[in-house]
Amino acid sequence: MKRQRLRSRSRFVGKVLVICLAFTQALVALPAEAGLTRQVYAAAADRPIHKATWLWNTGTLLKDREGTFQFLRQNGVNLIFLQADPDVQTSDYSGFIREAAARGIEVHALGGAPDWILQDKQIKMYKLINWVKTYNNSVAAEERFRGIHLDVEPYVMRAWYEDTDTMLGLWRDTVSGFVEEMKIETPDLIAGADLPVWLEQFNVPDGEGGRTTLSNWMIGKLDQTTLMAYRDNAADIISSIATELGEAERNGKSVIVAVETLPSSEGPISYFDKGSLQMMRELGTVGEALISRAPFTGYAVHDYDGWSRLKE
């Protein structure tokens, strides 16, 4: 997952005032890297533009808090998916999230594994939700997680190919349970998840006697969907999410568009070889193309470790 935009207007003071009245702008900036023009994209106050990343190695990154925040600041990150690790002290989480909040960074708890859709493994998801709620109830408002971000990709398991229909049902049960459990007593906690960009090929019950695409069903359930548009150029990124963007529009839901930085043997799906400058240019193009679409709320880069090691 990521993106941004800008419209600068400065003719007459009167026009500036009109624009200021019409739009309260939430600004997200791309870093000015080696000739890359600094770009700022604006969004209405009720539609912040995110620049997100995943932080999986929580213990290590929290120990080097200064270095972690330096990287996040340099790259304009304002949303992080931080792995919930029970072995990390509550005080470490609270201190980190408090500092993140002071820096304008929203933090969502991150968790998941491919087998969490299995009935004997779903308990891990419910434990994550309970852990976040218990933690949030024990700390100050500025130290709380603002959401939970689920990373469950069952299609990497052999069972997916052996019995796809059953796995689809289990996946839907998992997402339904995830959202329902999260909203009990904490309706403002954001339910988010990562989704691949090919789920429109599956036709599933819509819960109202009809049928719909799996992508539409998932997007409709979640508060926030991060689309893993793992391609290495703007045109392919944009085309890969065309269906999902339309579905999010009809559902009144938000999407974040994600890109990959880790090495891959699966074809042109990562910016590992192209580097950070090319990635940011492409994301700028993506942002310019999508800013007029209401569901688009930014982009995400997977993941912190890969991004921080990416060549220029």
> In sequence order, which residues have a C-beta less than 8 Å from that of residue 196 and are 6 or more positions away?
153, 155, 227, 228
Summarised one tens digit per residue, pLDDT across range 79-105 is 999 999 989 999 999 999 999 999 999
The whole-number average pLDDT for the span 28-57 is 59
Angle at Cα 255 formed by Cα 154 and Cα 40, nearest 5°? 135
Say which CATH architecture domain 13-308 belongs to: Alpha-Beta Barrel (3.20)
Check residue 164 and report its DSSP letter.
H
Give the residue extent of every domain in the chain: 13-308
Amino acid 46: pLDDT: 55
Judge whether residue 18 has pLDDT over 70. no
Amino acid 48: pLDDT: 84
Amino acid 47: pLDDT: 74
As a whole number of angstroms, the distance between CA 171 and CA 133 comes to 23
The whole-number average pLDDT for the span 245-252 is 98
CA atoms within 13 A on the CB side of 198: 4
Cα–Cα nearest to 229, from 269, 285, 172: 269
Judge whether residue 1 has pLDDT over 90. no
- The burial of 68, by beta-carbon neighbours within 10 Å (0-12 exposed, 13-18 middle, 19 or more buried), is given as buried
As a whole number of angstroms, the distance between CA 34 and CA 275 comes to 12
- The burial of 261, by beta-carbon neighbours within 10 Å (0-12 exposed, 13-18 middle, 19 or more buried), is given as buried
Summarised one tens digit per residue, pLDDT across range 160-181 is 999 999 999 999 999 999 999 9
* 53, amino acid identity: T
Confidence of residue 205 (pLDDT cuts 50, 70, 90): very high
Confidence of residue 55 (pLDDT cuts 50, 70, 90): very high
How many H helices and E strands in the chain? 12, 12
> In sequence order, which residues have a C-beta less than 8 Å from that of residue 66 and are 6 or more positions away?
none
As a whole number of angstroms, the distance between CA 85 and CA 272 comes to 27
As a whole number of angstroms, the distance between CA 112 and CA 89 comes to 20
* Cα dist from 44 to 49, 85, 132, whole Å: 9, 35, 30
Confidence of residue 16 (pLDDT cuts 50, 70, 90): very low
Percentage of the chain exceeding pLDDT 70: 85
Judge whether residue 306 has pLDDT over 90. yes
User: pTM for the complete prediction?
Assistant: 0.86
